[in-house]
Chains A and B, each alone.
Chain A
């Protein structure tokens, strides 16, 4: 009995240590770990609202799909990893989240361009439009012996013949590339382009060339869209928020650990141990269901740690009461847990209700908070009622006659 409990305890401690050790890397890896929200890594959250045009025609779901495709194309052109794009057909909105972009401002500008691409002669007359363009890619051209940043363009078969005509006719002159009425480029035709493969030169950097390439590719939006909501956080500010909130987490944890240790001594140590288990469970569940960690999410996590501690406090206070009534350690531990169960259950179900209401009706960032809170409460119910109970039983099993001082009460003769 005695040896069996010691063994179980030792195995549990080692197991938890191993799990924690092997959890750190996969959970915190910036590429594959728990994804950070844009408030923690910088980025843009945009809600675009499709607006009914002048002709008053209703916006169809098909329009929304086209608009989404165009936007997706533009987003991909920006090279953002894991962009989030969602269509809300009811409200005719497209929600875009680009986390971790270096220059959120530029991203918004590229997305906002709703204009139609045209090629025009030096007098501004339209020669052909951008729908005949098949592709546009930024590239580095070193064929002339120096580094040129260029945009390589290719045309559809119809576009190829048309562009061949144009470049033959306007050889040595400038062809304007327009977005709506805005001239964005004015390249000079140096050779006729007959094979549908051309290249525009004169960019100062590859990034600049890439921006133009995206603009050429994406063409026009089928409906006009306006920004109704925008949340833009610079990468530096995001990193700053992340550091601050992690700091807050660490400090809160240290104080709570010490607090429990001082208050409850041996059971306090057990509580701290099961808090570690609790944290690992919560983080893995959040990772498993693909939650994005945001500032409110971290706050929800810290709060759920507080609530998890509460469960231990309820149980331990019960155990202390039973001990004061003169019960043996083992009986007190068992009674404490079974008596606290109903209390813990009832009190936490009510909190889950509040969190559920938040989840069902709240906005995206608040949902993150609600999910963390719900996962936190369920996980704390598990750890406080089962895990802590096992460990406490093993400890009491090792030495049922240990000093009650270790349980935070004065020794009664």
Chain B
């Protein structure tokens, strides 16, 4: 595992401009500094298996029950009604039936508010429905009804727009990381972020949490965050790689790099989670699915940067260069 990563050409391409260090921390220094130190690289198969265990139920659920799309994506009408007194589910259901509609009713706030979802209604039908609810279920102030209507055609546009933004973002990231590092890094990084996205989507599918328009923003931010986190570790690997000596192994160098950035990884994920938890707990109903997705994504983004992206780089390098000592590093 010795000198094959010391190709001069590779170094020129990737060497960042840094002030020369008077000295650098040794692998042993780094090991000693962390009380909880263990070799992350050597245990990489454990992380791969763990990720599969996390991914598989989600993927199965995505294929079998799919996602619980809100009316933003599939079209429909939604009313959030604050009643002046308590109401029952039955009364509202009956009111809906009386005007020939079906849909779901969800009561909240001690049965004084209801979220009613049904097909996309035109203005006349909508008035008819609200009238019926007012008469048969309970009185409410029309001025304070929250209401959403999306025709199915618009929902489809939103869906295709969402897919496009995901594709564009992935390609941009893949190109940039390939350019700044190497293709192996970009590939591993993008696999790791797909891993985060699929876990998030999988959890939303498993628990059938509703997915609204802001969810796509959450997913794309997870994209940004996950790769951001990964790049910080890559950056340290790039730096340490330049300083590798003949007898050093690539695996140890990656392990050292991961642990050198561990403090930052943990602290950053904590601050971002503080911000997200505040939005989740205090931000009200409308940002809940957004912040929940972000919390899951950010958590797994940090995990995957350490345990998946960097470890995939190790794994791919090992497999593509084999154990035979050829003097060419893997690069794009």
The residues of A with any CB-CB pair to B shorter than 8 Å are 39, 47, 49, 102-105, 108-109, 112, 226-237, 240-241, 244-245, 247-249, 251-252, 255-256, 259-260, 263, 295-296, 298-300, 302-303, 305-307, 309-310, 313-314, 317, 320-322, 324-327, 334-335, 338-339, 342-343, 346-358, 360-363, 365-366, 369-370, 373
Contact = CB atoms under 8 A, between A and B. Distances in A.
A115 to B, nearest CB: 13
Contacts of A339: 18-19
Most buried by A among B166, B260, B283, B284: B283
A296 B228 contact: no
Nearest to A305: B275
Most buried by A among B150, B217, B228, B235: B217
Contact of B168 (A255, A260, A298, A360): A360
B176 A236 contact: no
Contacts of B221: 303, 351, 354-355, 373
B145 A105 contact: yes
Interface stretch (B87-95, B244-252, B286-294): B286-294
Contact of A350 (B25, B214, B228, B268): B228
Instruction: Report whether over half of chain B's contact residues are helix, strand or loop; otherwise say mixed.
Output: helix
A102 B144 CA distance: 9
10 contacts: A47-B154, A103-B142, A241-B286, A260-B271, A295-B283, A303-B275, A325-B25, A339-B19, A350-B177, A350-B227
A248 B283 contact: yes
Given A229-B154, A248-B283, A354-B173, A365 B213 contact: yes
B217 A358 contact: yes
Interface stretch (B47-55, B157-165, B311-319): B157-165
Given A354-B173, A354-B221, A313 B168 contact: no
Given A245-B287, A343-B231, A362-B161, A321 B275 contact: no
Given A351-B225, A353-B176, A299 B279 contact: yes
B75 to A, nearest CB: 9
B118 to A, nearest CB: 14
Nearest to A296: B214
A335 B19 contact: yes
Most buried by B among A248, A252, A300, A302: A248
Contacts of A295: 214, 283-284, 286-287
Contacts of B21: 322, 325, 335
Contacts of B290: 296, 299
A301 to B, nearest CB: 10
Nearest to A327: B22
Given A233-B146, A321-B25, A354 B223 contact: yes
Contact of B217 (A320, A321, A369): A369
B282 A366 contact: no
Contacts of A320: 263
B99 interface: no
B213 to A, nearest CB: 6
Contacts of B220: 354-355, 357-358
Contacts of B122: 226-227
B271 A309 contact: yes
A200 B146 CA distance: 35
B235 A343 contact: yes
A241 B144 CA distance: 13
A120 B137 CA distance: 40
B165 A251 contact: no
Contacts of A353: 169, 172-173, 176, 224
B149 A358 contact: no
Contacts of A327: 22
Given A255-B274, A335-B19, A108 B154 contact: no
Contacts of B22: 325-327
Interface in B1-57: 16-19, 21-25, 33
Contact of A229 (B19, B149, B177, B231): B149
B107 interface: no
A299 B295 CA distance: 12
B101 interface: no
Please list the 5 inter-chain residue pairs (A to B) with the smallest Cβ-Cβ separation, ordered nearest first.
Answer: A351-B224, A234-B144, A354-B224, A252-B278, A357-B169
A267 B141 CA distance: 53
B148 interface: yes
A103 B235 CA distance: 55
B289 to A, nearest CB: 11
Given A234-B144, A237-B80, A244 B217 contact: no
B145 A232 contact: yes
Interface in B83-125: 122-123
Contacts of A335: 19, 21
Contact of A342 (B16, B123, B162, B217): B16
Nearest to B168: A357
B4 to A, nearest CB: 25
B264 interface: yes
Contacts of B260: 321
A296 B143 contact: no
Nearest to B214: A296
B60 interface: no
Contacts of B272: 303, 306-307, 309-310
Contact of B278 (A302, A325, A356, A358): A302
A370 B169 CA distance: 13
Contacts of B326: none
Contact of B158 (A39, A309, A350, A363): A363
A128 B224 CA distance: 63
B25 A230 contact: no
A300 B291 CA distance: 11
Nearest to A238: B146
A325 B24 contact: yes
A23 B143 CA distance: 34
A227 B123 contact: yes
A199 B168 CA distance: 60
A274 to B, nearest CB: 14
A366 B287 contact: no
Given A255-B274, A303-B294, A361 B161 contact: yes
B157 to A, nearest CB: 9
A197 to B, nearest CB: 34
